[in-house]
Structure 1
Amino acid sequence: MSVGKLPVIDLTPMRAGDEFHKRALGDALREACVHTGFFYVAGHGVPQALIDRVFAASKAFFDQPMADKRKVDKALSAANRGYEFLGGQTLEPGAPPDLKEGFYIGEELAEDDPRVLAGAFNMGPNQWPAGVPDFAPVMMEYYGALLELSREIMAALALSLELPEDYFEAFCTEPLATLRLLHYPPQPAQPLPGEKGCGAHTDFGGVTILLLDDKPGLQVWDALNERWLDAQPIPGTFVVNLGDMIARWTNDRYRSTLHRVINTSGAERYSVPFFYSGAPQHEVRCLPGCLGEGEQPKYAPVTVEGHLREMYRRTYV
């Protein structure tokens, strides 16, 4: 393994910068998206106090007895909300199940919401654990903060593509997004062949905003040098990566990069990814400026929901 230097992008200019500094941010972001598809973001505006409360509530949930966690098993939810047991997912084909347990949260919708009644993809009420005080309000406050940060990142991505800052505004209207709490026990001293916290994979959707604790474990594939890079936690930042939909949207100009987790810290490890996929019926079609002379789009136009359903079908069926 190798310690890589993923770029750090300061998002402050998106809120307080002039056009010169916004263009400079866009140029730096373009370099990151073309070469790695992974970067840290600083100047994100999410309060550290809120982040601390999210980690505390997450740890409190996972510390509960299994019987209590099973009361909110995501198998009980038509919208894929709730608890996923240790080994409940295998992200890397041919590898053993992932050494992690999780909890899924989405937009809070009532059973009689028109989108729920229409059977919209992954939409419905959340399941909330009864034994963790303030769990729901803390997570929904963080969910709202990450929605705003995602819109800001999409605006920065528009600038990186030399598009108007508001180009993705419709994409960011009533978006699909999933907050996921993850707990990784220490890597076994004698793991099964290929066994790891999280198997090598790319993300399906738009952008992923990953909150790390202080434990190492995240590794990003460096295709140019054919090696895994250790993405060490940097206090005060998030790790952001692009999903398959952004690669498709840019005709593979921007990268959706393989990554995995191996918790060699010897301690319990926690992380919180936020998957932002955008408005379900928004059309994903090759973006202006992403075709060279004589080049054709590699992918047919598709809606966000259509893309996600296809990705789920390939992975889970």
Structure 2
Amino acid sequence: MLGAKMHLLLLILSLGFMGMTSAQQQCDPLTQYEDDRGICCKMCGPGTRMSSNTHCQDPQCEDCRENEYQDKYTKETQCLLQPYCDRNINFKIMTHKSKTERSICMCKEEFHCSSIQCMTCLPHTICNPGYGARYKGNHSQDTVCEKCPEGTFSNESSWKDACKKWTECESGYHIEKSGTDVSDILCDVNRRHNIMIGLIVVFLISAIIGVAMCIKGTRGDARGKVKGCFQSCFGEQKDPLRDTIVDITHPTQKEELLSVPEKAGAGAPEENEDQPSEENSTDVIFSDNGNFVTQDNGVSSKLSRQESQPHALIGEIQPLD
């Protein structure tokens, strides 16, 4: 009889415990909470906080204030504070825009977090000349340096620049100095290339000077000057002008007398027998018949012409006594 009573008591206790457990599981653990009476009450959503004067089934929720956030449902009357990013320990100045998420303090450029919690920021490692950045540092990790391999170089200290490739000399250039891990290849122009450039420059200068001189020496308008200059400088090849040789012969005394023109209005000079002068001195000559004739020096040109005309000499020649 006692055993039956004990069995019945255990059964009642088990049913009561199960009933209590089922009553607790009715509340949603994400959006509800159980009050002192065992009633499931609603919570305020993310980005808000619960007012002090609220109702279990219809709570009064208020938005979080500036620099506050709430990332889940809550029955709390205060939101959480956003972290303070101190620029004195190399953090960026943050503007907290979200009220539903916690802001993350970001390190300044050239700095990274000292730990997972990112309590402070440390400067990135600097890669010296001959080394380059294999992995460039960022907010969460430091820079990783590596020695510049063959064919590359780095001539400066940097936390972000990788090794640079050597310069490839272009056509017409040769390697003046080989590259190293800290210096680039030095290229120089080939001598033959220099000679060709010099010849081209000399040719152009000569052409310019020739055109200028040609235009200066050519008469006419500007178009004619340019055209004539280009024809003379760059036109078709023409036969050179042949030199014309003129034989110069000295005239005879007779030809000189014939070539002297008589002055207009001037006839034969008058003879002055009373006052003979040196210029009018009488010379003795022979005529074509062998007779002696006299001739004044002042009329030599007239007698020379008369000798060329025999029929006109009859009146001019006087025989000597």
TM range (shorter): under 0.3
**Counting strand residues as a fraction of each chain, which structure ranks higher?**
1
Length-normalised TM-score, structure 1: 0.15
TM (norm. structure 2) is: 0.15
Larger Rg: 2
- Does 1 or 2 have the higher relative contact order (CA < 8 Å, sep 6+)? 1
